Amino acid sequence: MEESKEIKEAVEKLDSLSEDERMQRIADLREKAILDEKAIYAKGLDDGIKEGLEKGKQKEKLEIAKKLKKRRNEYRINSRNNRIKNKRNSRNINSKTLTNRNFYGININIF
């Protein structure tokens, strides 16, 4: 009888250890799942930040290009207006008699 009692105790202890091992395995798997979830979240966050920075750089480049294009167009308009103004002024000058002083201070009419 003592032998069967000892066997019974050994079986109970083995079952208890097996149950503890199963619980430990479940706890390990749960911890791994939590860590994996955090790693996936962190990776997604990093990717999102990188993508946001890249989009920001592209947007900044586009804004710079738009400003340069606007300045170029303003320059072209101003240049064209200045050429038109200069042509008008040269017509007015050519249509009138110009007076100019020579080296000796004498007025000379230029036609």
Q: State how far the alpha carbon of 95 is from the alpha carbons of 36, 40, 88, 90, in Å.
A: 88, 82, 11, 9
Please answer whether residues 99 and 107 qualify as being in contact, where contact means their C-beta atoms are separated by less than 8 angstroms.
yes
| Beta pairing class for 98-101 and 107-110 | antiparallel
Residues contacting 108, CB < 8 A, separation 6+: 99, 100, 101, 102
- Nearest-angstrom CA–CA distance, 68 and 79: 16
Dig out the tokens for 29 from the structure: 């798997």
Local confidence pLDDT in tens for the 111 residues of the chain: 567 777 778 777 777 777 777 888 888 899 999 999 999 999 999 999 999 999 999 999 999 998 888 888 888 877 777 777 776 666 555 444 445 555 555 555 554
- Nearest-angstrom CA–CA distance, 111 and 97: 5
**What is the predicted pLDDT for the residue at 100?**
55
